Amino acid sequence: MTFIMGRQPLVALVVCLGLGLAPRPGWAQGVDLTSFRQLPILDGGRVKPVDTFCRETVLAVFDEELFEGMDPVETVVSLAFRPERWRDKKLIAISYRPHRKTLGLLPREGVVSYAELMKNKAFLKLVEELEHPGHDGKEDGESRRESGRLYSRVSTIDALFNHKAFRIVPVAGQPDAPWSSPVGAASDPRGKAIGDAWRSAQQAYLAGNSAAWEKAVADLAQQAAGAAPKQYPAAWTLSLETLYNRLRPFRVSACLYAAAFCLLLAPFVGSLLVLFWPVGIALTAVGFAGFTGIGLPVPLLAVLPGWIKLSICPLLFASGLALILARLWAGRPWPTTVATSLLILGWALNAGGLVARVVLSGRGPISNMFESMVYLGWGAVTLALLFGIRFGIAHFGAAAGLVGALMLVTAENSFDPFIAPLVPVLRSYWLWIHVQVIMLGYAGLFLAIVAGHLRLLMSLGDRADRAPLRTVDAVLYRSLQAGTACLGAGIVLGGIWADYSWGRYWGWDPKETWSLITFLYYAAISHGRFGGWLTGSGVATGSVLGIFPLLMTYYGVNFLLVGLHSYAGADQHAGATFIDKLLVVPIWLKLFTLAEIVFLQIADCLVIRAGSIVGTSLAVQVVFFAVVWTKISWWAVALLVAQAILAAVFWTSGRRSEEPRAPDPGPLPDACA
Handedness of CA 170, 171, 175, 178 (dihedral sign): negative
| String of DSSP letters for 97-118 | HHHHHHTT--TT--EEEHHHHH
* Helix (H) or strand (E) segment spanning residue 91: strand 90-93
Kindly state whether residue 385 falls inside one of the protein's structural domains: yes
pLDDT value at residue 597: 66
Kindly state whether residue 419 falls inside one of the protein's structural domains: yes
- Model confidence at 15, pLDDT cuts 50, 70, 90, reads very low
If you average pLDDT over residues 562-566, what whole number do you get?
66
Query: Taking each helix axis from N to C terminus, what angle separates 429-458 and 369-391, rounded to the nearest 10 degrees?
Result: 60
Distance CA 227, CA 239 (A): 21
Higher pLDDT, 586 or 649: 586
Residues 191 and 77 in one domain: yes
From the CB of residue 160, how many other CB atoms can be counted at a distance below 10 Å? 23
What is the domain count for the chain? 2
pLDDT in tens, 575-601: 444 444 444 556 666 666 666 666 766
| String of DSSP letters for 47-78 | EEEHHHHHHHHHHHHHSSSSGGG--HHHHHHH
Higher pLDDT, 144 or 114: 114
Q: Which of 427, 461, 492 is the last residue of a domain?
A: 427
If you average pLDDT over residues 612-634, what whole number do you get?
48
Question: 351 lies in which domain range?
Answer: 1-29+248-427
Residues 218 and 122 in one domain: yes
Closest CA relative to residue 475, chosen from 377, 550, 372, 380:
380
Higher pLDDT, 186 or 312: 312
Residues 73 and 154 in one domain: yes
**Which of 16-25, 65-74, 302-311, 543-552 has the weakest average pLDDT?**
16-25
- For the CA atoms of 79, 84, 90, 94, the dihedral, rounded to the nearest 10 degrees, stands at 60
pLDDT value at residue 62: 87
pLDDT in tens, 341-358: 999 999 999 999 999 999
Distance CA 401, CA 25 (A): 31
Q: Which residues pair with 265 in a beta bridge?
A: none
Kindly state whether residue 450 falls inside one of the protein's structural domains: no
Residues 87 and 127 in one domain: yes
CB-CB contact of 181 with 200 (8 Å): no
Closest CA relative to residue 584, chosen from 141, 252, 151:
141
Kindly state whether residue 141 falls inside one of the protein's structural domains: yes
Kindly state whether residue 616 falls inside one of the protein's structural domains: no
Residues 358 and 373 in one domain: yes
Distance CA 390, CA 671 (A): 7
Closest CA relative to residue 473, chosen from 451, 445, 453:
451
pLDDT value at residue 464: 46
Q: Mark residue 293 as left, alpha or beta (left: phi above 0; alpha: psi -120 to 50; beta: remaining).
A: left
> Max CA-CA distance within the chain?
89
**pLDDT averaged over the chain?**
77
CB-CB contact of 627 with 579 (8 Å): yes
Alpha carbon 247 to its chain's center? 16
From the CB of residue 144, how many other CB atoms can be counted at a distance below 10 Å? 19
Residues 188 and 108 in one domain: yes
* Helix (H) or strand (E) segment spanning residue 197: helix 191-207
Kindly state whether residue 573 falls inside one of the protein's structural domains: no
**Which of 56-70, 144-158, 263-277, 514-528 has the weakest average pLDDT?**
263-277
- For the CA atoms of 595, 596, 598, 600, the dihedral, rounded to the nearest 10 degrees, stands at 160
pLDDT value at residue 363: 83
3-class secondary-structure state, position 647: helix
Residues 76 and 136 in one domain: yes
pLDDT in tens, 193-222: 888 899 999 999 999 899 999 999 999 999
Q: What are the helix and strand counts (H, E) for the chain? A: 31, 4
- Model confidence at 369, pLDDT cuts 50, 70, 90, reads confident
pLDDT in tens, 461-514: 555 456 677 778 888 888 999 999 999 999 999 888 888 877 888 888 888 888
CB-CB contact of 497 with 512 (8 Å): no
Handedness of CA 246, 248, 251, 252 (dihedral sign): positive
H-helix segments, 293-333: 298-303, 306-307, 313-328
Q: Mark residue 545 as left, alpha or beta (left: phi above 0; alpha: psi -120 to 50; beta: remaining).
A: alpha
pLDDT value at residue 429: 77
Higher pLDDT, 613 or 101: 101
How would you class 410 by CB atoms within 10 Å of its CB: exposed for 0-12, middle for 13-18, buried for 19 or more?
A: buried
Q: Check pLDDT > 80 for residue 133.
A: no
Q: Which of 427, 444, 469 is the last residue of a domain?
A: 427
pLDDT value at residue 566: 62
If you average pLDDT over residues 120-149, what whole number do you get?
70
The pTM score is 0.81
pLDDT in tens, 92-131: 888 777 878 888 776 667 788 888 888 888 888 877 777 7
Q: What percent of the chain has pLDDT over 70?
A: 71
pLDDT in tens, 279-338: 888 888 888 877 776 655 555 555 566 667 778 888 889 988 988 888 888 778 888 889
CB-CB contact of 444 with 480 (8 Å): yes
Residues 210 and 282 in one domain: no
Q: Which residues contact 564 (CB under 8 A, 6 or more apart)?
A: 502, 507, 509, 511
pLDDT value at residue 243: 94
Residues 277 and 128 in one domain: no
Closest CA relative to residue 444, chosen from 360, 518, 336:
518
Distance CA 111, CA 94 (A): 6
Residue 643: C-alpha distances to residues 150, 374, 617 (Å):
44, 36, 10
pLDDT value at residue 360: 92
Three-state SS string across 215-271, please? HHHHHHHHHHHHHCHHHCCCHHHHHHHHHHHHHCHHHHHHHHHHHHHHHCCHHHHHH
pLDDT value at residue 605: 59
Distance CA 121, CA 130 (A): 15
Kindly state whether residue 655 falls inside one of the protein's structural domains: no
CB-CB contact of 483 with 447 (8 Å): yes
Kindly state whether residue 534 falls inside one of the protein's structural domains: no
Residues 194 and 283 in one domain: no
Residue 641: C-alpha distances to residues 21, 368, 609, 635, 637 (Å):
48, 41, 19, 10, 6
pLDDT value at residue 186: 57
Distance CA 434, CA 500 (A): 12
φ, ψ for residue 65, nearest 5 deg: -75, -35
Residues 187 and 327 in one domain: no
Q: What percent of the chain has pLDDT over 90?
A: 25
pLDDT value at residue 661: 41
Residues 355 and 206 in one domain: no
| String of DSSP letters for 557-592 | HHHHS-STT-STTSGGGTT--HHHHHHTS-HHHHHH
CB-CB contact of 513 with 556 (8 Å): no
Q: Which of 398, 427, 456 is the last residue of a domain?
A: 427
Distance CA 549, CA 596 (A): 13
Higher pLDDT, 425 or 575: 425
